């Protein structure tokens, strides 16, 4: 299949692209490189530096595409609070322009990269896909809800085939966000540099951490899917953040100080996926447990930091 990946120069996109290419798909990547890195894109892919806000450019690129995997969005929660207009423009308007460019060029299949944040402060755990979407704590979450809604609207109005993947807490090699807001890469980098770890809520929050290679597989399995489908993508296993820190200490063989940052507004105490639906309908499953995934991620950052 001919697959167009938006935002493919990022952490998750780079892994998805490699898996698509290894599965003999033809891949075109568009990314404006505002947050991504060209070096992360597999050399077998066709790369076009473009912005999803440039609808005319999208309409030039899209013809002949079988499916779009849409991953281009701003993701830093704190920045979304500081710059809500920028996030709204890039995430929501960019998605609408992409969908409309697809409509005009006859491309009607999209796999959308969403987030478990759409559930807000969920009342039940593990969370199932038909749980109500919760009140959002920040503009980033609100943009993801709206992006989902536009994908569903194009399904209803124009017959698009839509698969929405709600990620829980991805981690793994090649996670090079700047600024980095995710816990595991920040913990690992601090520990390897022997600096104090900043920790909120004393690390008592429970999260569903999913290794990047397992997450990437969830993008390839729905390529031939028709209709509208929404899937959680998580391990169905919760881990306390403090226990993840202790496991990293155990793997590297030493400890560093922990900086107690107190409470943080907007954090939910527990976020665990029910992934039974994607397992049943697509045959997806996880293969890398937390300890193995942490070892691979530590090896990557140890090598990356030593080369800087």
Residues marked as catalytic: 140
Nearest residue to 6 via CA among 122, 102, 78: 102
Contact residues for 100 (Cβ-Cβ < 8 A; gap 6+): 55
| 303 CB-contact burial (10 Å; exposed 0-12 / middle 13-18 / buried 19+) | exposed
Q: Any residues with CB less than 8 A from the CB of 280 and at least 6 apart, and which?
A: none
């Amino acid at each position: 299949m001919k697959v167009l990946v938006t935002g493919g120069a990022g952490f998750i996109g780079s892994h998805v692209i490699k898996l698509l290419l290894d599965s003999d798909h033809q891949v075109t990547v568009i990314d404006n490189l505002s947050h991504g890195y060209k070096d992360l894109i597999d050399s077998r892919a066709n790369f076009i530096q473009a912005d999803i806000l440039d609808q005319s450019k999208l309409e030039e690129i899209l013809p002949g595409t079988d499916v779009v995997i849409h991953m281009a969005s701003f993701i830093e929660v704190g920045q979304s609070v500081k710059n809500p207009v920028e996030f709204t423009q890039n995430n929501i308007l960019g998605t609408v322009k992409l969908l409309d460019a697809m409509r005009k060029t006859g491309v009607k299949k999209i796999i959308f990269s969403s987030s478990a944040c759409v559930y807000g402060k969920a009342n039940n755990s593990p969370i199932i896909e038909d749980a109500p979407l919760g009140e959002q704590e920040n503009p980033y979450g609100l943009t993801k809800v709206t992006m989902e809604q536009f994908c569903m609207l194009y399904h209803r109005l124009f017959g698009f085939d839509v698969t929405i993947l709600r990620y829980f807490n991805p981690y793994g090699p090649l996670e090079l966000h700047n600024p980095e807001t995710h816990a595991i890469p920040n913990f690992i980098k601090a520990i390897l540099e022997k600096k104090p770890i900043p920790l909120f809520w004393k690390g008592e929050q429970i999260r569903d951490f999913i290794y990047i290679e397992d997450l990437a597989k969830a993008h390839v399995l729905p390529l031939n899917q028709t209709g509208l489908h929404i899937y959680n993508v998580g391990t169905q296993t919760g881990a306390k953040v403090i226990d993840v820190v202790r496991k990293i200490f155990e793997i590297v063989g030493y400890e560093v100080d922990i900086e107690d940052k107190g409470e943080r507004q907007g954090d939910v105490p527990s976020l665990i996926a029910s992934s039974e639906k994607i397992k049943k309908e697509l045959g997806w499953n996880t293969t890398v447990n937390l300890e193995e995934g942490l070892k691979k991620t530590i090896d990557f950052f140890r090598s990356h930091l030593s080369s800087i």
